[in-house]
Structure 1
Amino acid sequence: MSDERRKRALEETEWLEDEIEELLNDDIAPFHDEFDLPEELLEIYATAPPSKLSRKVYLGELLMLQRELIKLQEWVVDSGEKIAIIFEGRDSAGKGGAIKRITQRLNPRVARVVALNKPTERETTQWYFQRYVPHLPSGGEIVLFDRSWYNRSGVEQVMGFATPDQVEQFYQDVPEFERMLVRSGIRVIKYWFSITDEEQQRRFSMRILDPLKQWKLSPMDLQARVQWEQYTKAKEQAFERTNIPEAPWFIVEGNDKKVARLNCISHLLEQVPYDDVPHEPIELPERVYNSNYERQVIPSELYVKNRYG
């Protein structure tokens, strides 16, 4: 690189950092009067505990980890590895944010997210694990389950959607089900995101007041606040009966979102023995020009109206 180009690249660094910050930040505090947000929400944002990491450090570490995730992805495709990653935990504990940062720069054909809705009437008559099986990874795939078959030990048990006999049957079946997955060549990695009672209350309050986050709050989430202790007991029972050597649980402390995301991604990379996949050098081919080609005039009404440029 010439000195002039290097100088220009260094001058553009600040602009690049600003762009990356905007792309990555999904927790944007209110910054414009046009939003007309309530004072209660502004107060919550103002009094929320700050992260232990500065934004600059967080983004720098995140980008480094995402580069490694790309290497992991390339190795998975090259080796035919099959990886299933389970994300469970308290509502608002940060599962979705971690999943987003993991998949953000990956190929969606390789790394896909599964977030199933409540069972249909037909699915309720099936073998419990049946609706999850079609979503399991094939060779060369990474599947991230944003909640999983552990719904039965969590929301279904606490809210009474499953009978005690069904829950007991689940606990008897799930260790062998996961062992079967591992024997078939699927690497099963299970994360539980944990937050304190106080932090969940703060995040729920944000969701209630923030129009950008209200879609995240469901009636079940509100009931989860009421049933906090029952969910705690259900979590403890799940750890006791499903923490098997073939597919152990890993707990991610989620009060600090930035720290939790980095810890989760770093740990995930340690669970897979990936290597660099060699690549042939990439060269951009020359464009073919045809002197007889005449570009057609495209009607102006087909263009999206330029409002911002």
Structure 2
Amino acid sequence: MNWISNYVRPKINSLFSRREVPENLWTKCDNCGQMLFHRELSNNLNVCTNCNHHMPITPRDRFTALFDGGIFTEVAVPRPIDDPLKFRDQKKYPDRLKAAQKQTGEQEAMLVAEGEMGRTPIVAAAQDFSFMAGSMGMYVGNAIIAAAERAVELKRPLILFSAAGGARMQEGILSLMQMPRTTVAVQMLKEAGLPYIVVLTHPTTGGVTASYAMLGDVHIAEPNALICFAGPRVIEQTIRETLPEGFQRAEYLLDHGMLDRVTSRTEMRDELITITRMLMQQPPPVIADLPAPAEIESGAEVADLDPPSEPEKA
């Protein structure tokens, strides 16, 4: 037995060998290929610091950045029947739901919360594209109705972040019925005189675009977000023509009057605060959390604060 080769050398190699770096420390940008440190990317709200490409972000992370101090309260959403049509393709529908719940840690494709944004009380709802492509099922319809009812009850504006591949095929006609249901919910806000602001993120397609995603008082989109009913590939195959560059992207829709703003995610909170307070007829937000200066009432105090200037020499 060669003790140097079999014992000493492996021992030395184990002491000086490089430690393996965890795979989740770095993320590669889908657009430019830049390797981004996970903490830097998270602090920038999953926006590439090199090319400004907007990567997916979960509703919880979005709400943490949106609400003051990252504090919000979830709004309860009625739970529908899990598998009303007993649907099965390659997998049973309940199995797909369980897999999506395990992957995302969420119960469904939409999260509803309430809290303050820049000292402005709001109700917010956000879709999670990683949960079965954010598809619109009965739960999503119930979530939007619950958000609208809570906003009307508290007299607060509703801000909705859309991200969906369309209706959920596993629920068939019951999924399509959510389009008129959510339209009624939006009408409740309009009758109550409350603002409804929609932030369209990548991608927002199908029946979601054909219903609550395009019924807002103000429509804002993240840069380069795909917003459409039928996708560009389907349209090209149908009309057999090449579509313009950037067709159905946020900037294209802004140029053609479909959107009001295209705003980066890192600037979205300030933009929403300004627009929300304007629509609620509230004074502009105060920069920094400082008490307002005391008003000066007497002329004596004015004289103390502003001493008279020296008389000009002739």
TM-score category, normalised to shorter length: 0.3 to 0.5
Richer in helix (by share): 1
Richer in strand (by share): 2
Question: Which is bigger in relative contact order (C-alpha 8 A, separation at least 6)?
Answer: 1
* TM-score of the aligned structures, taking structure 1 as reference length: 0.37
